[in-house]
Structure 1
Amino acid sequence: MVAVGLCYNNMGQRFSSEQQQIQEKLSLGATPKMASARLIRDSIRAALIPTVDSAKTVGLVSLPGMMSGLIFAGIDPVKAIKYQIMVTFMLLSTASLSTIIAGYLTYLKFFNARHQLVVTQLKKRA
């Protein structure tokens, strides 16, 4: 949820700040997807930074509850670590997929039916 929220926020800011470049691409014949592809990609990448950073520290800085709970319960620590790695990858993949889907479904809201960038919506959101 945090990654999707960051993606939405970043996209709104970038559509507003890069309005001129997007309109230039559209005037040269680019589709809305082509005109905003770099912006979408950068917004997704920026939104995933906190999730990836928290995954980097698992086991080094913080001991996750599931892993420490399994170790306290008497499970082999290597097996507990394997489970925690699996959960971490599940969280990363869920955040990645939801952010990618949200980003590519949202960019069209910044354009009208005639593929023009909608400036009034950008000003309302700012």
Structure 2
Amino acid sequence: MESLLLKSILVHNHTLQQQFPLVSMDFSWLIEFLKGMVKPVCATAVVFLAVALSFSQKLGLEVEMIVAVLRAFIQLSIIGFVLQFIFNQENSGWILLAYLFMVSIAGYTAGQRAKQVPRGKYVAGASILTGTAITMFVLVALSVFPFTPRYIIPIAGMMVGNSMTVTGVTMKRLRDDIKTQINLVETALALGATPRQATHQQVKRALIIALSPVVDNTKTVGLISLPGAMTGLIMGGASPLEAIQLQIVVMNMMIGAATISSIMATYLCWPAFFTKAYQLETKVFST
């Protein structure tokens, strides 16, 4: 009788688990996540050291440091769960959605850097989208990376972040240089030069300043510091030889995406800098 009752209970529980799977949800992943957060929490000790130094030197950065660390903790935790969900999906649409989200945030951030550029957020977003999309297409077409979320999303994130910085600097520097040398540009336009010809030196200077950190970083990679992707692979157990192979790809794609994005930004800025009659839009440079 007891064995029949026990069997009935087991069958009933199995039926409930099939009908209501949430009742038997496995929380082992959450336990593992909490265990893994012990070391990151311990690492906040150095943040408290920085806060103490800021307080002792009266820098006034204590609150900003704490807020920044809390934001990073929350944002990274959320994105970790989101990526885990996306990696478990077989629908490539999630890749496109994640990519467009990153480009949108990057375009907004780069546009904030160049506030004086009209429609700067849209210019930055379109530039970043163009540069990173072309670079990613080439990498996938050459079978450097498979078109899967586990590869594409992290790689796209690195390219988008780097292109965001370069694009923002390019737009701001170009606008500031034209404003500083506005008389030279107007003289060239009066002599019949096109906007591209009249601002050639300003465009060149803006691109060189924006791209120089990327180029310099590529020149000194491995000599001064080990890059993040390479360090992560080595700490994850990969051999140094495997790590450098990926890092070489990463540095190459950084240069490609950043260059395309920054040059595209200069072309997209012109409609806001010049009128249809090839005259400078004075209101853009008045502030």
Q: What is the count of residue pairs matched by the alignment?
A: 124
Decide which of 182, 185, 189 is 1:22's aligned counterpart: 185
Decide which of 82, 89, 96 is 2:245's aligned counterpart: 82
Say what the alpha-carbon RMSD is for the aligned residues: 1.6
Deviation at 1:50, TM superposition (A): 1.7
1:58-103 residue CA offsets vs partner (Å, 9 max, x unmatched) = 2122212322333344444223212111111111111111001111
Q: Comparing both chains, which one has the higher relative contact order based on Cα–Cα distances under 8 Å and sequence gaps of 6 or more?
A: 1
Q: TM-score, normalised by structure 2?
A: 0.41
- CA 1:66–1:121 in structure 2 vs 1: closer, same or farther (change >3 Å)? closer
Q: Which residue of 1 aligns with 2:205?
A: 42
Give unmatched runs, 5+ long, in structure 2.
Answer: 1-163
In 2, the alpha carbon distance for the partners of 1:80 and 1:19 equals 48
Q: Which residue of 2 aligns with 1:4?
A: 167
In 2, the alpha carbon distance for the partners of 1:80 and 1:9 equals 35
Q: Quick one: percent identity of the two aligned structures? A: 36
Q: TM-score, normalised by structure 1?
A: 0.87
Matched, 1:107 2:270: yes
- CA 1:74–1:120 in structure 2 vs 1: closer, same or farther (change >3 Å)? closer
In 1, the alpha carbon distance for the partners of 2:234 and 2:259 equals 29
Deviation at 1:117, TM superposition (A): 0.8
Give unmatched runs, 5+ long, in structure 1.
Answer: none
Deviation at 1:112, TM superposition (A): 1.0
* Structure 2 residue matching 1:61: 3-state secondary structure: coil
Matched, 1:119 2:282: yes
Deviation at 1:37, TM superposition (A): 1.8
Report the AA paired with residue 197 of structure 2.
M
Q: Which residue of 1 aligns with 2:196?
A: 33
In 2, the alpha carbon distance for the partners of 1:8 and 1:115 equals 19
Matched, 1:55 2:218: yes
Asked if the contact 1:40/1:107 (under 8 Å) is kept, the reply is no
